[in-house]
Structure 1
Amino acid sequence: MNATLRKLGMPALLVAGTATAMTAADMVKDPLPDLGAQAAGPAVAPPGAIASAEGLSGAFRAATRAALPAVVHVRVASAARAVSSQQVPPEFRGTPFEDMFRRQGGQAPRAGSGSGFIISADGYIITNNHVVEGMDRVMVVLADKREFEARVVGRDPNTDVAVLKVEARGLPVARLGDADVLEIGDWVLALGYPLDLGQTTTAGIVSAKGRSLGIMGRNGAEAPLEHFIQTDAAINPGNSGGPLVDLQGRVIGVNSAIASPTGFYSGYGFAVPVNLARRVAEDLMRDGRVHRPMIGVEIRDVSPADAEVFGLPSPDGAVVSAEPRGPAAAAGLKLGDVIVAVEGKAVKNAGDLMETVMERRPGDRVTLDVVRYGDRRRVAVRLEEFSNPRAARSRAEPAAEDVAAPAETTGRLGFRAEAVTPEIARELGMERAAGVVISEVDPASPAAGVLGRGMVVRRFNGRQVGTVQELRAASEAVRAGQVVSLEVRLPDGRETIVNFRARS
């Protein structure tokens, strides 16, 4: 720091030396320009541009002043944890090495920090689940520097939302906005306590909506709901749980994640929409857990190939990708149906559908617009509370030795398949050895990413497939660039439809 100051000071010393060498006469001959004349000179930028910039600066200042008092610093810590007797390898139990293993295998103390914002004057605070998960102590520091020990009211790994409570009254409260009215290009501000720097505000725009990153499932979420607001406002470690606000200072998102190769800001940050966060927080405050409604379908985004197969005007909607159950089955939904609207509100992708349904409650009735192979229809579904029927299912793929028999090639489609043997049937939990199983997928083919080893082909372009010969005959009819549709059984027992375009 001192070296930097010295470098910056050098030009000033040179100017001072020059000034002392000038005579009074020189100064009279070359007087300094009149300061009044400088002020009256031509503007650097047109007055309208300056007024617009100053207006935007004013909006940033006003939004920050409105929101910042309700933004808090969340400090967390966990104690060291010893390894339990069940975690000690059997060969070490009851020996002198058991204590050594406990000491070396235990978890060291941890500490960290994040942000949050106050949603009620009596001390309820929203933050991220990942900020407080596994922590023994949570401290909250208010904008006025007061500190409180906080209680974790509830957490939801599926949405990365948590609610804290501090014992206080008359606290400043954040105003909650409406994320649904946001448009790409809108100005937003990210507030919080990044990198332990203290209160910080950064500005950017909404650069995308409805982003799914696939990060929730890594943290034990049973049914991750990702529908992030993407922004280029700088978000760094420590911003997690803080608010993303609009130019009115209203919270429209909860800052949660960044896309970065280094772990620090690289241009893209992500926030949970406040409509979703508020719905989750209400349940956590009331019951300590989330009552998540469900239709009873597993879904995926619509691809261009899906749109062609299912008769859609555009690749929008959510494909029913497994056999419906519960309310969906009762309402008559089928595998391959595409849900394109809920209560008349268009569904662009799977995240859209999940977030829209999450705004309801178990027991509510909703009307779905569904496209079934080009035929649009409307069905009513009574929502049930979410349960996870897949929790106990095995997802293991068949081992390499189970598919090592000579395989048949399906040519331009980019995968190889073989008959299901008794060994493969046992591995896949099938009642009998029948059918055709995918044994290899060319990573450079159109099938890569949609097909995988261990999938059993049931139908190919509507034709039932029971043998390798039947699969070969069906695939030989495929033209270059044609979309193909396969009904397959997954290694965990579910059935789904996979669509992709053959090689040109």
Structure 2
Amino acid sequence: MYDPLKNKLKIALITGFSCLSGLGIASGIGWTNVPSGNHPIISSEPQIPTQAVQPALDLSDAFVNVAETVTPAVVRIEARKQVTADRNQNANPFSNPFLRREENPQPQPDQVAGGSGFIISDDGYILTNNHVVTDATSLTVFLQDRRSFPATLVGRDPFTDVAVIKIEAENLTKLHFGDSEKLRVGEWIVAIGNPGFGGTSSPLDYTVTVGIVSAIGRPLQLLQRELARDEETANNRGFAIEDFIQTDAVINPGNSGGPMVNLKGQVVGINSAIASRTGFYQGYGFAIPIDLARRVMEDLVDYGVVRRAWLGVAMRPIDALSAETYGLPSVSGVELTLITEDGPAEGYGLQPYDVITEVDDVPIGRVGQLQQNIAMKRPGDAISVTIYRNERPRNVRVVLGEAPLQPRTETAEASGPVREERMDDKLGLAIEDMTQESATAFGYEDISGALITRVAINGPAARRGVRPGWKVIEINRKPIPDAEEAYSILQDLNDGEIVTLHVAAPSDSRQIIHIRIPE
């Protein structure tokens, strides 16, 4: 018997089932995108195939592995220091929290500042920067596992900005050294620091940044400027070794002393300085090569001080004009400007104007490289030095001495009065006889000789770095007893010739400068 109600219910069920089935099919093939509960449907499928970015993912994993492996060995060092007020508010050249001294510093309450370091041995030795621990009355080290320990200063070296401290602790994670000599420009590096105060309580703890080696062998003169402000080290500032690794990895205040590592987790440098006008990162970070730091560390641990090998010369880098002057086969090497009296170099026959091109068959291309090469030796070691003299190479064997780093004081350079002088138009400089007045004004004890009193702006001498206040020792290797002799030699020079000036500053630091006379 036909029942209309049952028939309608059957049709309704069939219709509803068909709609749901159709909706499911449409959703499955993307014909509809009906939100559920007003929430969008979000897919977790990668938009770029993993295979296409696998090399980048592998590199990312490498960074993660380095951070996880190295970070436990990085420590926070808090240094309590007696500081002085500084009305000038000039930032420390290493961009750490400590400020430069003023002429009449005012005592202030102790302040706590600090930086980073890293553990290098199971028995608690830690490498850091000298400027992190200098003048500290107490040191505290914080580890990643929230433990903290008092630290003792083992030794420090202001001439390389390296220091070693020690804690008494167990179950320490230590880092291994790489070979900074094998670093290549463009190589990936990771810089790790612990800039936060109070162990792991700060939001800035354990900063990991990544970059590349931007350059090698940067001579920044940061150490020399810092040493010059301390009367105990001012006269020895020429012993500063500055051969920094440059990186674009972020290194900010508080990261000083932390490790710079390669992708194998080996330490290749100690984060040391940044170059910026604000004291904060602006694209340039610098680190001390670990090969040099390791050599310094060995002496500090063994002796408490550095016994530095010493050649006994002052030098400057070779440029194109210097290479042409000396007939060098390439623009490479360092030019000797001063031979220290009774020093090793003098005893073995080295002379001013010699150009060192190799040491122990290793090519020498820059001043910092030679300094670091000598610093890696020990007093009493013999080295083979290849020099160019009179456009010909020769080999000289030199036994290195020990650097005389005893504290001494010196007379600071000062600006002197400028009188009406005779000006040499070829080089753009004025020279006059040294007088008692000019010697006192510029800080010379000896009143003999000829003094550069003025340098024309943008003149040939100025463009080569000649400055007022320098004493002229020689011109074209001829001694200059007075201004008249200097002008006599300069007048006989022709356009296009290269003139060589041997000059000295009041501190007796010397330079040899080559200047081409404009045509």
TM-score range, shorter chain: 0.7 to 0.9
Rounded to whole Å, the distance in 1 between the matches of 2:138 and 2:406 is: 34
Relative distance call for 1:489 and 1:145 in structure 2 (3 A) is closer
Residue aligning to 2:390: 373
Rounded to whole Å, the distance in 1 between the matches of 2:414 and 2:339 is: 20
Q: Which has the higher helix share?
A: 1
Contact 2:339 2:345 in 1 (8 A): no
Deviations along 1:69-123, one digit per CA (max 9) or x if unpaired, are 21111122225789xxxxxxxxxxxxxxxxxxxxx93223211121110010010
Asked if 1:173 corresponds to 2:174, the answer is yes
Deviates more, 1:295-304 or 1:417-426: 417-426
Rounded to whole Å, the distance in 1 between the matches of 2:116 and 2:374 is: 28
Which residue among 426, 436, 439 is the counterpart of 2:450? 436
Give me the TM-score of the superposition, normalised by structure 1: 0.82
Deviations along 1:254-306, one digit per CA (max 9) or x if unpaired, are 00000111111111100001111111111111111111110111122223222
Rounded to whole Å, the distance in 1 between the matches of 2:436 and 2:128 is: 52
Rounded to whole Å, the distance in 2 between the matches of 1:424 and 1:36 is: 84
Residue aligning to 1:356: 373
Relative distance call for 1:143 and 1:445 in structure 2 (3 A) is same
Structure 2 counterpart SS, 1:298? strand
Which consecutive unaligned segments of at least 5 residues does structure 1 have?
Answer: 1-23, 83-103
Higher gyration radius (CA): 2
Relative distance call for 1:218 and 1:456 in structure 2 (3 A) is closer
User: What number of residue pairs does the alignment pair up?
Assistant: 452
Residue aligning to 1:446: 460
Alignment map for 1:14-33 (pairs within 5 Å): 30-31=32-33
Contact 2:252 2:280 in 1 (8 A): yes
Alignment map for 1:210-225 (pairs within 5 Å): 210-220=217-227, 221=233, 222=236, 223-225=239-241
Structure 1 counterpart SS, 2:351? coil
Deviations along 1:172-200, one digit per CA (max 9) or x if unpaired, are 11011000000000000001113550112
Relative distance call for 1:410 and 1:165 in structure 2 (3 A) is same
Rounded to whole Å, the distance in 2 between the matches of 1:252 and 1:413 is: 45
Residue aligning to 2:78: 75
Alignment-mate amino acid for residue 361 of structure 1: R
Alignment-mate amino acid for residue 70 of structure 2: A
Alignment-mate amino acid for residue 222 of structure 2: I
Deviations along 1:121-154, one digit per CA (max 9) or x if unpaired, are 0100001111111111211111211111111111
Residue aligning to 1:188: 189
Rounded to whole Å, the distance in 1 between the matches of 2:333 and 2:32 is: 74
Aligned-residue offset at 1:391: 3.6
Rounded to whole Å, the distance in 2 between the matches of 1:309 and 1:233 is: 40
Contact 2:73 2:118 in 1 (8 A): yes
Rounded to whole Å, the distance in 2 between the matches of 1:65 and 1:189 is: 12
Deviates more, 1:478-487 or 1:234-243: 478-487
Deviations along 1:186-239, one digit per CA (max 9) or x if unpaired, are 000001113550112111000000111111123335321111111011111111
Rounded to whole Å, the distance in 1 between the matches of 2:384 and 2:124 is: 38
Relative distance call for 1:388 and 1:142 in structure 2 (3 A) is closer
Alignment-mate amino acid for residue 471 of structure 2: V
Residue aligning to 1:4: none
Which residue among 196, 201, 226 is the counterpart of 2:208? 201
Aligned-residue offset at 1:445: 2.1
Deviates more, 1:73-82 or 1:51-60: 73-82
Residue aligning to 1:499: 514
Deviates more, 1:186-195 or 1:461-470: 461-470
Rounded to whole Å, the distance in 1 between the matches of 2:216 and 2:382 is: 27
Aligned-residue offset at 1:500: 2.3
Residue aligning to 2:348: 331
Structure 1 counterpart SS, 2:487? helix
Asked if 1:287 corresponds to 2:303, the answer is yes
Which consecutive unaligned segments of at least 5 residues does structure 2 have?
Answer: 1-21, 86-104, 197-201, 228-232
Give me the TM-score of the superposition, normalised by structure 2: 0.80
Aligned-residue offset at 1:486: 1.6
Alignment-mate amino acid for residue 31 of structure 1: N
Alignment map for 1:19-58 (pairs within 5 Å): 30-31=32-33, 44=48, 49-58=52-61
Which residue among 427, 438, 446 is the counterpart of 1:413? 427
Residue aligning to 1:227: 243
Structure 2 counterpart SS, 1:170? coil
Alignment map for 1:109-128 (pairs within 5 Å): 109-128=110-129
Asked if 1:260 corresponds to 2:267, the answer is no
Rounded to whole Å, the distance in 1 between the matches of 2:219 and 2:82 is: 34
Aligned-residue offset at 1:377: 0.9
Rounded to whole Å, the distance in 1 between the matches of 2:302 and 2:268 is: 22
Aligned-residue offset at 1:458: 3.9
Aligned-residue offset at 1:471: 2.9
Contact 2:312 2:339 in 1 (8 A): no
Alignment-mate amino acid for residue 54 of structure 2: A
Deviations along 1:26-78, one digit per CA (max 9) or x if unpaired, are x9762269x9997788x536x55401101111211222222112111112222
Aligned-residue offset at 1:320: 1.1
Relative distance call for 1:119 and 1:415 in structure 2 (3 A) is same
Contact 2:128 2:163 in 1 (8 A): yes
